[in-house]
Amino acid sequence: MKSMVTVAIFLSAAANAQTATFDTDAISRPPTGWTCGTTGKGSPRWTIETDTTAPTLPNVLKQHGSADYPWCVKNDTLLRDGVVEVKFKSVSGKEDQAGGLVWRWKDSNNYYVARANALEGNVSLYHTTNGSRRTIAYKDAPISPGVWHTLRVTFKEASIQVALNGKAYIDVRDEHIVGDGKVGVWTKADSVTLFDDFDYR
């Protein structure tokens, strides 16, 4: 009986999984059904572009503006607990080379973010509250620029796990941001970053 329940839960989760590949969106425009902006100052630029290295050809989502904390969230998402995952590639950035995920996004000033940084070689977890970003945890991690990586966050109530390329780096409890929120992707400063295969469930 227990195994049957486990299988049923797995199938239910798989049925609820959604993946955005960006392959049907118009080139050089923001993705359809997403809202993009920044926390703080600056001019983020989120556009759909073709890329021959994309994990799922032919398109990717590219952030190539410069702003404090650029974000882009999917409008039709509202998750309290779940899993969110994305493939990202750091292209360039003198100040930062970040690829990140946001969840329980309430507005531009209130959300969680997990970030992988190719310039610093680490994975970090933050809460942004009232526009102020605060560190919860960070761990050193090998993150090569110009290479596709997979960042994954699992969150349930106060429990948060962050994994990079299938390896768990952060496992903590935090209660700064509760309730439902949108999910999406994130960068920092002058990071030029590509995203593909955005998965949430």
Q: What is the pTM of this model?
A: 0.91
The neighbour count for residue 168, using CB atoms within 10 Å, is 13
124-169 pLDDT tens trace: 999 999 999 999 999 999 999 999 999 999 999 999 999 999 999 9
Q: What is the mean pLDDT of the chain?
A: 93
The predicted model gives 185-197 an average pLDDT of 98
Could you give the C-alpha distances from 123 to 22, 119, 128, 133, in angstroms and in order? Answer: 25, 11, 16, 15
* CA R_g for the chain: 16
The predicted model gives 165-184 an average pLDDT of 98
The predicted model gives 109-119 an average pLDDT of 98
Q: For residues 159 and 171, give the distance between their C-alpha atoms in angstroms, rounded to a whole number.
A: 7
Helices (H), 48-179: none
The predicted model gives 13-34 an average pLDDT of 88
